[in-house]
Amino acid sequence: MLTQDELKTQVGQAALHYVVPGDIVGVGTGSTVNKFIDALASMKGQIKGAVSSSVASTERLLALGIPVFDANAVGEISVYIDGADEIDGRGYMIKGGGAALTREKIVAAQSRRFVCIADESKLVTVLGKFPLPVEVIPMATQRLIRQFAALGGTAQVRMKGAAPLVTDNGQHILDVTGLQIKEPLAFESEVNQWPGVVTVGVFAHQRAQVCLLGTAGGVKTLTY
């Protein structure tokens, strides 16, 4: 029986197959992506470098000698590799458990193909069991908590010790429980236009086209 960590290593290595030699690769954030970054070091001579979705991933890439480019300095990216907190049968995801959702969505939007790497615990039929991360402007926090309550959700400010966690963009995160997101495209569009929301952690407009799912029987490739 493989551990969750071993499943993450498997899918991190399997994702190398999707990296286009000679190109710049989009790199997400999280413990599964860390396995991918470590594996990517083995082909660093074959790629130009990476566009990163967080300070943490940038530091890991640079430590391994992989050049990191500003998103504004490059055009379309051939492939974006990232994890997910939940993924459904259509490639729609909840992301942001690592608080990097805004930059993740930016790099995903700049990429032709999103390859999600996840262990099988992340596969769901309906999104919403994992608390939905939403990056918000702190001034809007209390009103947004009330707006989520009107949808049946309970939103809490994510803390780091005694103070709210501050994202790479200088904002806060709300984690929302109690939602069943049956129409991810419509939900993402609606919440994204609430004043004060920077990014909602539903990735439906930026869904995955491929999911490499780590299972006890090996890596399964799901395509959408």
Q: Count the Cβ atoms, other than its own, within 10 Å of residue 56.
A: 18
Q: What's the order of all strands across the beta sheet hosting 210-215? A: 68-69, 49-52, 24-27, 77-82, 111-119, 210-215, 218-223
Rounded-to-integer distance, Cα 199 and Cα 172, Å: 11
Q: Determine if 12 is a binding residue for ligand 5RP (CB under 6 A).
A: no
CA end-to-end span of the chain, whole Å? 28
Least spacing, CB of residue 150 vs ligand 5RP, in Å: 26
Q: Determine if 212 is a binding residue for ligand 5RP (CB under 6 A).
A: no
The three state secondary structure string of 84-133 is CCEECCCCCEECCCCCCHHHHHHHHHCEEEEEEEEEHHHECCCECCCCEE
Side-chain-side CA neighbours of 71 within 13 Å: the count stands at 17
Among the listed ranges 19-27, 83-91, 162-170, 208-216, the one in contact with ligand 5RP (CB under 6 A) is 83-91
Q: Determine if 88 is a binding residue for ligand 5RP (CB under 6 A).
A: no
Q: Determine if 98 is a binding residue for ligand 5RP (CB under 6 A).
A: yes
Least spacing, CB of residue 22 vs ligand 5RP, in Å: 26
Q: Determine if 28 is a binding residue for ligand 5RP (CB under 6 A).
A: yes
Among the listed ranges 78-86, 156-164, 179-187, 207-215, the one in contact with ligand 5RP (CB under 6 A) is 78-86
User: How many amino acids of this chain bind ligand 5RP (CB under 6 A)?
Assistant: 17
Q: Determine if 128 is a binding residue for ligand 5RP (CB under 6 A).
A: no
Q: Which of 12, 26, 30, 184 binds ligand 5RP (CB under 6 A)?
A: 30
Beta carbon nearer to ligand 5RP, 133 or 153: 133
Q: What's the order of all strands across the beta sheet hosting 132-136? A: 154-157, 172-177, 132-136, 197-200
104 in active site: yes
Q: Determine if 96 is a binding residue for ligand 5RP (CB under 6 A).
A: yes
Q: Count the Cβ atoms, other than its own, within 10 Å of residue 73.
A: 8
The catalytic residue positions are 104
Q: Interface with ligand 5RP by CB under 6 A: which residues?
A: 28-32, 82-85, 95-101, 104
